[in-house]
Structure 1
């Protein structure tokens, strides 16, 4: 049995640092929270190299008295609590007394601090937990921390850090949330000598939303006025459903001024939005939740990101009802403003459309309808109109009269050329298509095809996703990807993390047909899109494509990025619960079955399922 011994203070400090200091953002969080607790109304955060080489945090708070500077860096030294009972009533962001000692254990730290009324300030240097110097110095009121060379003497931990840009993104995300939760404080964030965020501290949360997320989101938020119920108050802003996202990154909620993650609060918000959003869409929120400190436990984890509530159901009900009432009482129909193009713009657009239609790769389909149009008009007795929207390919609109079943059969026969085989029965083989029956659409989503002794059910959304994906990848492979100009350009406002993601993968976006340029600040202009996305590539689709790249590693290959972009471009596919004409469905099914693997969409869901006549007869007890 190994001998039991007491760890050295250095080892204890490094273990504690491992719980508190995970990356540069962890340091920024602890020091900014200390500045807030010190009563600062102006806080500046500056980082270089993602905060790995330098973090400078300056505040105009109360400062640290000279005689207490050394004590402040001891483990479990804090001015926030005195007894265990204080844990239940503490209203400050920090209270554990681990931050400064943990940071000093793994970094080179310099602190300059001066209290109100003091003639001079104190400059204190501590590196790797060892004091280097302490001296008096002239300084303004408040505190400045300079933290250099994170993990400089623990390289094993440094290798787990991500790139400088990614680490800077984590810091940016933190500062944005601190600004939202403390609108009375002016926050300034500087990254590599460039100011990324500067709030006024005028207590106007909507101004901060505008500064962080841009005009589109700020223009589509609903204000929630504070209303107390049994010691619980919810206030802030929530987004209208039109600005939903594909992940939870825009769900911000704060408990007693502290940004936290809570499953019960997230569920209340998402349940309230459920009638207003599609599946897998998440809202924008910036909610402030004030609750009696004795009813919430924030001492769950060293990072204080998790909380426990004494009355979980009460918190859920209050948040749910507040959000639901705000949504139900508002007009949520989005407004679209259409700019009437000038004569010159119309002529230019017509020329572009003509150029695109004349390109060889644009002729994906034969022209069977033109060939038989005169016959259709001559023999039919009821009007028809075959509509081919851009989302199903580069087809045309044909009008005439269709009345006889034989005529409709001829339309189906000529709808696609040289179809490949599917399944052993050759569902839409050239020889078999005369015998298959496109019965109709079920629930505005599934198309029913009868052939031989089977019923085939085709999911129109999954089928169109597959067609778009394969079309996208085929053009990419043959280097035939073409672009379509967007007039006027689509302007999008990105967060710092989204901006970095775009810069990192801009070459891949360009290679598939996007033309994207910097438009000033954090705005970018999309002036061209891949031709198969023309008309559907809006702000929402593009930000979803960026979101989809979040889970890729920084070393992901260009091909992996392109496949992800292609997969996300399938968002342009026709949705379920959308009614297509028989001719549109037939054209879609025809192209699907020309693919090498038509059986699954790019995300793995089946496009086609089948049920035999034998299985149906067993269900109806015709066969025992």
Structure 2
């Protein structure tokens, strides 16, 4: 992620007409919300290192310290005034927004419900300045000895709002929510080092070297981070998307491992998170979610960040086109990346092993980041056939490991793409034409789709009042039994927007070689060659995995080579 150093503007109180037109003010409803605002201020200030300290769930003590550009001594007290900000000067600036904050309410909102101490210094100044505000009243102001940057310390949060405290969770839960905020922004800004301390004990640290996989390895483990597939794509109006996604699991019951950033802003609500889930849903088990981190970078004039009180939602000018770009990028990542077996095979380590003499190894260095096997990669072009196994698997190898290929799903993918491309063998007449009696609505759909169906190789003709007869199907499908043909006609009469893809997926599934159907070596080699030439060889048209890769690094760990 490319981030430019901010050019600092003086802090000014927004004119009343501008303040009134900004979406509802800051809502500090729990310590994590205060932490979020302070971290965003630090990032806006160009910080390279941010330290967050928490005691008592953030209610007793919350401190965020950074090494950003700092605040001049003459503006420190103004910084805690309501609607005072350096980020915009007029309402039109919202259309040119390059910062996370813009309302000038965070510090004032926190100071109104707790004791806030702000200390800051700028580069080249002989000393810094500070101010302490408790429940909206200034208690202290003066000079401070500090290196360039800003420290905000909050004590006794909600001390004057006992009713709000009564609705909060336990200190452990509130601390965990602050931890989630810190970790999300560590993922969103891998170029910034984050340190999190709970009750005097270090809880998390990121190096700030710009390596997203390293941050994810610290959060989820080395194997999970290295098994992620890249997301890439172009967005309308010159934007782009990039990120990482776990195409082969592990799968999670909640969405807490799916993270979306739009121009560096963590977005949790609205149409965009829904578009992300819709993109991976065809490939994920029902009710499960992958580890996914997605960054959208769009021109500032294409985004409206002023739509949610807590700034958790944004709107884009062309959200439908952006959603389609997200869908295409996610589909490509799942379609081109074979599932890894590391997550499931890690269970092998829990099995009892035979008792052996313990051998001390003195020459092997400990495994470090980057040595746990290659990252998720696309299916190599030169798979070499080895054998068939388990009545449905093709065993192959490449230079990076072994590959297990589901023969039914592989053939299904090959047929699906051939049907999509119109590369079939033309219509094939049915030995026994099938009579269909659709409802009036279904008959209307079939009539409207007659040309498209004929182009695909499906020939339907009228046969008396309200009846149709199916006379031919695409030649690539071979012979179909009555049950398979009925399923195809049912798909052709679907009122879903993606009826064509569903029809082709059903056709490919019904015509593909089945599990348990033996393949000779020549047929298996031909199927592998066709699969590696497919656009999305790693998943079948229904989203299930086609290929599992046993990487050399995994085999070396399992066999202790």
Return the TM-score normalized by structure 2. Answer: 0.57
CA shift for structure 1 position 263: 4.1
Q: CA deviation at 1:229?
A: 4.9
> SS of 1:243's equivalent?
coil
Displacement of 1:341 in angstroms is 5.8
Give the distance between the partners of 2:281 and 2:167, measured in 1 at CA.
Answer: 38
Distance 2:28 2:269 in 1: 22
Unpaired stretches in structure 2, ≥5 consecutive residues: 1-18, 357-561
The answer as to whether partners of 2:235 and 2:325 remain within 8 angstroms in 1 is no
Q: Deviations over 1:599-619 (max 9, x none)?
A: xxxxxxxxxxxxxxxxxxxxx
- Where 2:98 maps in the other structure, the secondary structure is coil
**3-state DSSP of counterpart to 1:249:** coil
Change (3 A) 1:142 1:163: same
Determine if the alignment matches structure 1 residue 327 to structure 2 residue 327.
no
Q: 2:131 aligned with 1:124, yes or no? A: yes
Once the two structures are superposed, the pairs formed by residues 585-604 of structure 1 within 5 Å of their partners are none
Range moving further from structure 2, 290-299 or 53-62: 290-299
Task: Find 2:323's aligned residue among 313, 316, 324.
Answer: 316
CA distance in 2, matches of 1:130, 1:59: 25
Structure 1 position 262, deviation (Å): 3.9
What's the CA shift for 1:228?
Answer: 5.2
SS at match of 1:223: strand
The answer to whether structure 1 residue 252 and structure 2 residue 255 are counterparts is no
Query: For the residues of structure 2 that align with 1:44 and 1:199, how far apart are their CA atoms?
Result: 11
Question: Aligned residue for 1:31?
Answer: 38
Shift of 1:226: 5.8
CA deviation vs aligned residue, 1:456-475 (integer Å, no higher than 9, x gap): xxxxxxxxxxxxxxxxxxxx
Establish whether residue 294 from structure 1 lines up as the match of residue 301 from structure 2: yes
Question: Which shifted more, 210-219 or 98-107?
Answer: 210-219
Query: Within 1, Cα distance between the matches of 2:78 and 2:355?
Result: 73
Match of 1:177 among 175, 181, 184: 184
Specify the SS of the correspondent of 1:240: coil
Is the 1:241–1:276 contact (alpha carbons within 8 Å) kept by the matching residues of 2? no
Distance 1:102 1:267, change over 3 A: closer
Judge which range, 240-249 or 181-190, deviates more. 240-249
Partner of 2:243: 236
**RMSD of equivalent CA atoms:** 2.5
In the alignment, what sits opposite 1:42?
49
Q: Does 1:86 align with 2:98?
A: no
Distance 1:122 1:333, change over 3 A: closer
1:138 matched to 2:145? The reply is: yes
Secondary structure of 1:266 counterpart: helix
Does the residue aligned with 1:43 lie in a helix, a strand or coil? strand
- Kindly tell me: are residues 313 and 291 of structure 1, through their superposed partners in 2, closer, same or farther at Cα, counting changes over 3 Å? same
Give 1:225 shift.
4.2
CA contact (8 A) 2:55 2:62 kept: yes
Post-superposition offset of 1:70: 1.7
Query: Does the 8 Å contact 2:57/2:174 carry over to 1?
Result: yes
Specify whether residues 75 and 343 from structure 1 end up closer, same or farther in structure 2 by C-alpha distance, changes over 3 A only.
Answer: closer
Partner of 2:175: 168
Shift of 1:333: 4.9
Q: 1:194 aligns with which of 201, 204, 207?
A: 201
Match of 1:371 in 2: none
Distance 1:68 1:280, change over 3 A: same
Measure, in 2, the Cα distance between the counterparts of 1:142 and 1:19.
24
Structure with the greater relative contact order (CA < 8 A, sep ≥ 6): 1 or 2?
2
- Structure 2 Cα separation of the partners of residues 248 and 23 of structure 1: 21
The answer as to whether partners of 1:183 and 1:201 remain within 8 angstroms in 2 is yes
- Are 2:214 and 1:212 equivalent residues in the alignment? no
* Cα distance in structure 2, aligned partners of 1:278 and 1:220: 18
Distance 1:342 1:85 in 2: 68
Find the aligned partners of 1:127 and 1:271 in 2 and give their Cα distance: 46
* SS of residue paired to 2:38: helix
> In the alignment, is residue 109 of structure 1 matched against residue 116 of structure 2?
yes
Distance 1:275 1:153 in 2: 49
Match of 1:420 in 2: none
In the alignment, the residues of structure 1 paired with residue 115 and residue 168 of structure 2 have an alpha-carbon distance, to the nearest angstrom, of 17
CA distance, structure 1, for counterparts of residue 352 and residue 171 of structure 2: 44
1:265 aligns with 2:241: no
Structure 1 residue 271: Cα displacement: 3.0
- For the 8 Å contact 2:237–2:298, the answer to whether it is kept is no
Distance 1:115 1:343, change over 3 A: closer
1:224 aligns with 2:231: yes
Query: Unmatched 5+ residue regions in structure 1?
Result: 1-11, 346-624
TM-aligned CA deviation for residue 101 of structure 1: 0.8
Q: Does 1:77 align with 2:100?
A: no
Q: Distance in 1 between matches of 2:74 and 2:354?
A: 77
Q: Secondary structure at the match of 2:339?
A: coil
After the TM superposition, which of the residue ranges 191-200 and 229-238 deviates more from structure 2?
229-238
1:44 to 1:157, Cα distance in 2 relative to 1, 3 A: same
1:87 Cα deviation from its structure 2 partner: 0.8
Tell me the number of residue pairs that the alignment of Structure 1 and Structure 2 aligns.
Answer: 334
Aligned residue number for residue 541 of structure 2: none
